[in-house]
Amino acid sequence: MEPILQVEDLSISFGGLKAIDNLSFTVEKNAIYGLIGPNGAGKTTVFNCISRFYTPDKGKLTFQGHINLLDYKVHQMVDIGLVRTFQNVELFKNLTVLENLIIGQHSITKGGILSQGFRLPFVKKEEKRIREKALDIMDFLGIRGIEHFPGAAQPYGVMKLIELGRALMSNPKMIILDEPAAGMNHSETQTLTNLIKKIRDEFNVTIILVEHDMNLVMEVCEKICAINFGSKIAEGSPKEIQNHPAVQEAYLGKEDEVHA
């Protein structure tokens, strides 16, 4: 098994609060890996460190075996193949659904600004290719037909799929999903559950996700890391995690959530 992401001894504090405390875990290439934990456990903070919104106080973050993520800035993540979605959907308000996807294509400036300005034939060809790619992704996500409508006017569940589509446009090696099912209704969550596996298989991508919907987590993740107070309390298969005493204790009073 080849690791794509190695998190080693990660720590970060905010004021006096130790949000992440010596956390280590490894994600294998092409895995669907889940990070779970009660509210405030530190899940989003881990994602913020990996995607470089935060710089940890301590620790090592290695991507694809040789890339030290701490050498990169947040806007460079897409160039090395690491993209994320957010807990609260972030779409461009004045753009159509299609444009919101196209904006995820980071190589859109291929050929240089000058050639874009003159709209040279190869630029037009490139634009056509990108547009077709966006439409294919919309098809794949089951949201074809709304491409010319405003992105931000779509139902919440659809906006989350648009955001996912935008992430897929950049040919990522790894996608970080922060609560992909939050705000979705039951049938949207079921569709998403099936989509996550399909995305991994068809786009040949590694997926790491944080999600409170335990049915989704237990169904899609092959390996799960449970954290509490910024530290790892258990790691293993969905079955191992569900039966783990420390996980049950962390979710005490919320046992229904752990037992899918």
Ligand X SMILES: Nc1ncnc2c1ncn2[C@@H]1O[C@H](COP(=O)(O)OP(=O)(O)OP(=O)(O)O)[C@@H](O)[C@H]1O
C-alpha separations of 53 from 45, 107, 160, 163 in Å: 9, 22, 20, 18
Would you say 38 or 104 has its CB closer to ligand X?
38
What would the x/- binding string for ligand X be over residues 37 to 76, using CB under 6 A?
x-xxxxxxx-------------------------------
Q: Which DSSP state fits 92?
A: -
| Residue 14 binds to ligand X (criterion: CB under 6 A) | yes
Q: Is 85 in the site for ligand X (CB under 6 A)?
A: no
**Residue 156 touching ligand X (CB under 6 A):** no
Closest CB to ligand X among 41 and 225? 41
Shortest approach of ligand X to residue 203 CB, angstroms?
A: 26
What is the amino acid identity at position 232? Answer: K
Among positions 163-182, residues that touch ligand X (CB under 6 A) are none
Q: Taking the CB of residue 46, how many other CB atoms lie within 10 A of it?
A: 28
Element (H, E) at 137: helix 121-141
CB of 9 to ligand X, least distance (A): 17
19 binds ligand X (CB under 6 A): yes
- Report in angstroms how near the CB of residue 228 gets to ligand X at its nearest: 9
* Closest distance to ligand X from the beta carbon of 120 (Å): 45
Q: CB of 20: closest distance to ligand X in angstroms? A: 8
**Backbone φ, ψ for residue 60 (5° rounding):** -130, 135
Tokens 């609260």 sit on residue: 88
Instruction: Choose between 41 and 175: whose C-beta lies nearer to ligand X.
Output: 41
- d(CA 251, CA 55) in angstroms, rounded, equals 29
Q: How far apart, in whole angstroms, are the C-alpha atoms of residue 183 and residue 210?
A: 14
C-beta closer to ligand X: residue 37 or 81: 37
Q: CB-wise, 39 or 187, nearer to ligand X?
A: 39
Task: Decide whether 63 or 251 has the Cβ nearer to ligand X.
Answer: 251
Residues 130, 63: Cα–Cα separation, whole Å: 27
Amino acid at 113: I
Considering the complex, what minimum distance in angstroms separates the CB of residue 74 from ligand X? 14
For residue 227, the minimal CB distance to ligand X (Å) is 7
Q: Which is nearer to ligand X, 168 or 216 (CB)?
A: 216
Q: Number of residues interacting with ligand X: please give it, by CB under 6 A.
A: 11
CA diameter of the chain: 64
DSSP string, 188-249: HHHHHHHHHHHHHHHHT-EEEEE-S-HHHHHHH-SEEEEEETTEEEEEE-HHHHHT-HHHHH
Subset of residues 24 to 43 that bind ligand X, contact rule: CB under 6 A = 37, 39-43
Binding site residues, ligand X, CB under 6 A: 14, 17, 19, 37, 39-45
